[in-house]
Structure 1
Amino acid sequence: MREKANTGQEKQAKRMTARALTLSTLRISDNVRMKIPSVDRSRVDPLTILGVVVNVNHNGLHTIGCRGDTISTKYNRKDLEHCEIVLKPTAVDSTSLPLRSIVANESLVGGQELFHCNYRRGCETNRCKCKKSSVSCNSRCHSSMPCKNKT
């Protein structure tokens, strides 16, 4: 049994190294797409984010810049997918932010949490968080309660 397990592990290692060798190297200013982990995005955010390779260090770790900011985490080549969409490196700022903040900046709903109020008095005044920020209340705010700020 141990011999079979050992040969199985060796086969898997050979397949993994062969797969790693098929990845082309990325150069500075290449456009890439990378998956966003589910803990860093909301349910309505896209699954991937586009970026540009800003720097490659001596260990083969890539620094990725997105629209406006640079991601503070360094990524391995296997985490990145080369794509043909053109994002110029000049559109990237030198400010380094975590991936979750960058995704929240590009999100349509404000990132990981959806915006809602929980105010239960009709939402006519600025005490309601939604009314204060000029947003209509939604079903997550106060479900079936009457509201003057719902659409």
Structure 2
Amino acid sequence: MAAINGAIQEHKEWRRIGHVMAEENLETYTPDADPTVLRWRREDEERQATEKAAQTQAAAAEADERLAADHAPAQVVLTGLARAGLHDLDGEDHQALQHLAHLDDATLHRTADWLERTRTTALRALPPRPAHRRPPPESWTRRS
């Protein structure tokens, strides 16, 4: 039964290729001129890029967890960075956190407090959102 299914799939593929050659007015078949093959390649590249991004994100999360577990003082700074809205840390950031973790607790807490104050100040500096008020019913246009 598997041999029959394989032959059916091969037959479908040859018919598809014949259709592409007729549509594209080709004398010889080349996968580079086949829109379906190009779509398959594009989808494969997108899938690979998505997988790579997921792996990179997982590795970064693992590094964050390892850093937090290894250096409890660094957790104070990580929390301050997260509250300040800085979530994506690269290798240099982790290296800086390791250096900060060797400082005394008072300096670490002052750094975290400074990050929190910076965030609060930045949020206050944002322009206020305009208040949208619904017009009173008297101003509504009535349909006849």
TM-score using structure 2 length: 0.31
Whichever structure has more strand as a proportion of its residues is: 1
Bigger share in helix: 2
| CA radius of gyration, larger in | 2
TM-score if structure 1 supplies the norm length?
Answer: 0.30
